[in-house]
Structure 1
């Protein structure tokens, strides 16, 4: 059982390997491939918890902390590699890009160290440092430099604002709708990546609408949904 439990830790750690592949693609400015590898890491992050609970890694492989491992891999895939893309993708003048990269990495590191980052109902408290999604939309839409700076600063500030952001799988409220929205988003994102992040306008519009839904869903009081 110990070997099986350790294999789950290895599976989780593979996310770091895919982060390296994503970084190599990013250095080559192959943004679509970068997001493909980050997507593989995201899938690993989405299922490894179930595997860990099934084999009880805490009891059967206690030498390795699954929580620490998750944080190490997640910071690399959710923050560090996407931030490099934001800095290197000519979205802003280099000086501003470096400054925004500094802001992202510092605020995200603080968020990952926050012991109160999740609420009792499985919402994130504060913007959950998913800079991979911010990078995806910035590279998809490619707004003006000043708009890009504004977006980054807004989400950096929201990291410390005690507002709820929905987890599309773990939050029970409207789980069916969240799941459908997530599946549709995934299909559209794959379509956008297959077209080199230059899809037809309706694809971009649909992706933006789903993003707005997930951004606002956590703000709706539970009583409002129940009624």
Structure 2
């Protein structure tokens, strides 16, 4: 949702304007959901925290199409849906997961606060970068998906040294101009991406229901889907280079 400077005709019914504004309220509710997720994180109810972050993810996925359907940019030009979306996304994708990662006990104690600061700072810079998306809708660099990174941190339960190294690498990759697949907006192989996304959602819910106590096959599939999202564009470009 982006701000539109065009005036709204006074003939537009108030119910249409109210419906348009309700979309902004719906988007802002993602921030309220993030607060609940943070409260669960403070209590170390990690599976519940991820569940609430999942609710915020659903809100983020559907508010845009609803906004376009209701013509929110034209009917409510005084509120910037784009800014609102970025504010909520920063809390749900970066800040709450940064707290979970830092306080989880899965990182080296000395490194945890520094890495947490690195997550928040790099995430803030990424959200402010006007080049965060390429022309073909791929993300440039690691797209501050720290909610997903935190999920895999709890899922894999690696030694603290390896987990700390992995988080440090992702912070650096935020500023590396490789392309990461946007699961909903990249046209190429979208059918495959959507099927993988659906499979990931089902397996992730199962993992949360089991408090991450799942077998190696499920962990392997979840990791393979993550590798596809992060590395498919690089793999395709590499194949094309060899064929050229």
Q: Does structure 1 residue 47 correspond to structure 2 residue 52?
A: no
Q: List per-residue Cα deviations over 1:73-104 (Å, max 9, x = no partner).
A: 00000000011000111012333110100111
Give how far 1:222 is off: 10
Q: List per-residue Cα deviations over 1:125-178 (Å, max 9, x = no partner).
A: 111100000000001111111111111111111111111000111100000000
Superposition pairs of residues 1-227 of structure 1, within 5 angstroms: 1-219=16-234, 220-221=236-237, 224=240
**SS of the residue 2:142 aligns to:** coil
Is the contact made by 1:84 and 1:101 (CA closer than 8 Å) also made in structure 2? yes
Provide the C-alpha distance between the structure 2 equivalents of 1:109 and 1:41, rounded to a whole number of angstroms.
19
Q: 1:223 to 1:203 in 2, by over 3 A?
A: closer
Provide the C-alpha distance between the structure 1 equivalents of 2:238 and 2:30, rounded to a whole number of angstroms.
34
Give how far 1:118 is off: 0.5
Give how far 1:210 is off: 1.1
Which has the higher mean CA deviation after the structures are superposed, 84-93 or 214-223?
214-223
Provide the C-alpha distance between the structure 1 equivalents of 2:122 and 2:104, rounded to a whole number of angstroms.
21
Q: 1:61 to 1:97 in 2, by over 3 A?
A: same
Is the contact made by 2:108 and 2:164 (CA closer than 8 Å) also made in structure 1? no
Alignment correspondent of 2:7 = none
Q: 1:86 to 1:7 in 2, by over 3 A?
A: same
Uncovered stretches (5+) of structure 2, i.e. residues with no partner: 1-15
RMSD across aligned positions (CA): 1.4
Uncovered stretches (5+) of structure 1, i.e. residues with no partner: none
